[in-house]
Amino acid sequence: MAKSVNKSVIFLKYPQEFPVPGEHFEVQSHELKIDLKDNDVLLRNLFISLDPYMRGKMRNTDNSYTAGFKIGQPLDGAGVSEVIESKNPAFPVGAIVTGMVGWEEYTVVAGAKGLRAIPNARESKIPLSAYVGVLGMPGLTAYSSLKIIGQPKAGETIFISAASGAVGQLVGQIAKRLDLRVVGSAGSDDKVEYLLKELKFDAAFNYKKGNILESLRAAAPEGVDIYYENVGGETLEAALEVMKLHGRIIACGMISQYNTQNPYGVKNLVNIVGKRITMRGFIVSDFAAESGADFARDVGSWLVNGEIIYKEDIAVGIDNAPTAFVGMLQGKNFGKQVVKIADL
Amino acid sequence: MAKSVNKSVIFLKYPQEFPVPGEHFEVQSHELKIDLKDNDVLLRNLFISLDPYMRGKMRNTDNSYTAGFKIGQPLDGAGVSEVIESKNPAFPVGAIVTGMVGWEEYTVVAGAKGLRAIPNARESKIPLSAYVGVLGMPGLTAYSSLKIIGQPKAGETIFISAASGAVGQLVGQIAKRLDLRVVGSAGSDDKVEYLLKELKFDAAFNYKKGNILESLRAAAPEGVDIYYENVGGETLEAALEVMKLHGRIIACGMISQYNTQNPYGVKNLVNIVGKRITMRGFIVSDFAAESGADFARDVGSWLVNGEIIYKEDIAVGIDNAPTAFVGMLQGKNFGKQVVKIADL
Ligand SMILES: NC(=O)c1ccc[n+]([C@@H]2O[C@H](COP(=O)([O-])OP(=O)(O)OC[C@H]3O[C@@H](n4cnc5c(N)ncnc54)[C@H](OP(=O)(O)O)[C@@H]3O)[C@@H](O)[C@H]2O)c1
Ligand SMILES: NC(=O)c1ccc[n+]([C@@H]2O[C@H](COP(=O)([O-])OP(=O)(O)OC[C@H]3O[C@@H](n4cnc5c(N)ncnc54)[C@H](OP(=O)(O)O)[C@@H]3O)[C@@H](O)[C@H]2O)c1
Nearest residue to B10 via CA among B76, B106, B67, B56: B76
| Three-class DSSP category at A79 | strand
How many CB atoms neighbour CB B263 within 10 A? 18
Query: Could you tell me if A252 and A228 are in contact, meaning their C-beta atoms sit under 8 angstroms apart?
Result: yes
Query: Could you tell me if B172 and B203 are in contact, meaning their C-beta atoms sit under 8 angstroms apart?
Result: no
Q: Nearest 10 degrees: CA dihedral of A312, A316, A319, A325?
A: -10
Alpha-carbon distance B251 to nearest alpha carbon in chain A (angstroms)? 6
State residue A1's pLDDT score: 47
CA distances from B121 to A198, A326, B282, B315 (A): 68, 70, 31, 21
Task: Tell me if B282 CB under 6 Å of ligand 2.
Answer: yes
Q: How many A/B residue pairs have CB atoms within 8 Å?
A: 106
Nearest by CB to B272, from A64, A265, A279: name it. Answer: A279
Query: If phi over 0 gives left and psi between -120 and 50 gives alpha, with beta otherwise, what is residue B90?
Result: alpha
Alpha-carbon distance B4 to nearest alpha carbon in chain A (angstroms)? 39
Residue A66 pLDDT greater than 70, yes or no: no
pLDDT digits (tens, 9 = 90+) for A136-146: 999 999 999 99
Query: Could you tell me if A238 and A216 are in contact, meaning their C-beta atoms sit under 8 angstroms apart?
Result: yes
State residue A135's pLDDT score: 98
d(CA B189, CA A232) in angstroms, rounded, equals 37
Residue A274 to residue B236, Cβ atoms within 8 A = no
d(CA B221, CA A216) in angstroms, rounded, equals 41
Buried b (16+ CB within 10 A) or exposed e, A226-256: bbbbbbbbebbbbbbebbbeebbbbbbbbbb
Helix residue ranges, H only, B62-136? none
Q: For residue B286, list chain A residues with Cβ-Cβ distance below 8 A.
A: 276
| Three-class DSSP category at A6 | strand
Looking at all shown ligands, the one closest to residue A287's CA atom is: 1
d(CA B343, CA B200) in angstroms, rounded, equals 33
Task: Note if the pTM is more than 0.95.
Answer: yes
Q: Chain B interface residues facing chain A, Cβ-Cβ under 8 Å? A: 56, 64-65, 232, 236, 245, 251-254, 257-258, 263-283, 286
d(CA A325, CA B2) in angstroms, rounded, equals 80
B192 CB-near residues (< 8 Å, 6+ apart)? B184, B186, B204, B205, B206
Sign of CA dihedral B188, B189, B191, B192: positive
Residue B79: strand pairing partners = B48, B99
Buried b (16+ CB within 10 A) or exposed e, B202-219: bbbbbbeeeebbebbeeb
For chain A, give the percent of residues with pLDDT over 70: 97
Tell the burial category of A59 from Cβ atoms under 10 Å away from its Cβ (0-12, 13-18, 19+): middle
Task: Tell me if A165 CB under 6 Å of ligand 1.
Answer: yes
Q: Nearest 10 degrees: CA dihedral of B132, B137, B140, B142?
A: -100
Q: For residue A269, list chain B residues with Cβ-Cβ distance below 8 A.
A: 232, 236, 251, 254, 257, 266
Q: Chain A interface residues facing chain B, Cβ-Cβ under 8 Å? A: 56, 64-65, 232, 236, 245, 251-254, 257-258, 263-283, 286
pLDDT digits (tens, 9 = 90+) for A316-337: 999 999 999 999 999 999 999 9
Tell the burial category of A120 from Cβ atoms under 10 Å away from its Cβ (0-12, 13-18, 19+): exposed
d(CA A90, CA A107) in angstroms, rounded, equals 17
pLDDT digits (tens, 9 = 90+) for B48-79: 999 999 999 999 876 555 689 999 999 999 99
| Three-class DSSP category at A213 | helix
* Exposure on the CB side of residue B286, measured as CA atoms within 13 A: 21
Query: Could you tell me if A100 and A66 are in contact, meaning their C-beta atoms sit under 8 angstroms apart?
Result: no
- Give helix then strand counts, H and E, for chain A: 9, 15
CA distances from B196 to A242, B189, B206, B235, B264 (A): 42, 11, 12, 20, 29
CA distances from B77 to A15, A279, A334, B137 (A): 55, 30, 55, 11
Tell the burial category of A38 from Cβ atoms under 10 Å away from its Cβ (0-12, 13-18, 19+): exposed
**How close is the Cα of B251 to the center of ligand 2, in Å?**
12
d(CA B11, CA B19) in angstroms, rounded, equals 10
What length is written for chain B? 344
**Strand pairing category for B181-186 and B203-206:** parallel
**φ, ψ for residue B120 (rounded to 5)?**
50, 30
CA distances from B18 to B13, B161, B164 (A): 12, 20, 21
Query: Could you tell me if A341 and A317 are in contact, meaning their C-beta atoms sit under 8 angstroms apart?
Result: yes
d(CA A84, CA A217) in angstroms, rounded, equals 54
Please compute the mean of the pLDDT values over residues A111-132 and round it to a whole number: 96
Residue A60 pLDDT greater than 90, yes or no: no
d(CA B154, CA B247) in angstroms, rounded, equals 14
Tell the burial category of B62 from Cβ atoms under 10 Å away from its Cβ (0-12, 13-18, 19+): exposed
Residue B49: strand pairing partners = B338
Q: For residue B282, list chain A residues with Cβ-Cβ distance below 8 A.
A: 273, 276
CA distances from B133 to A133, A220, B103, B286, B310 (A): 54, 41, 16, 18, 9
Per the prediction, chain B carries an average pLDDT of 96
Which parts of chain B have pLDDT scores under 50?
1
Nearest residue to B172 via CA among B148, B139, B149: B139
DSSP 8-state class, residue A259: T
A110 alpha-carbon distance from chain centroid: 25
B160 CB-near residues (< 8 Å, 6+ apart)? B168, B171, B172, B175, B182, B183, B184, B185, B228, B230
Residue A281 to residue B265, Cβ atoms within 8 A = no
State residue B1's pLDDT score: 47
With bands split at pLDDT 50, 70 and 90, how would you rate the model's confidence at A63?
A: low
What does B9-41 look like in DSSP terms, one character per residue? EEE-S--SSS--BTTTEEEEEEE------TT-E
Query: Could you tell me if A316 and B309 are in contact, meaning their C-beta atoms sit under 8 angstroms apart?
Result: no
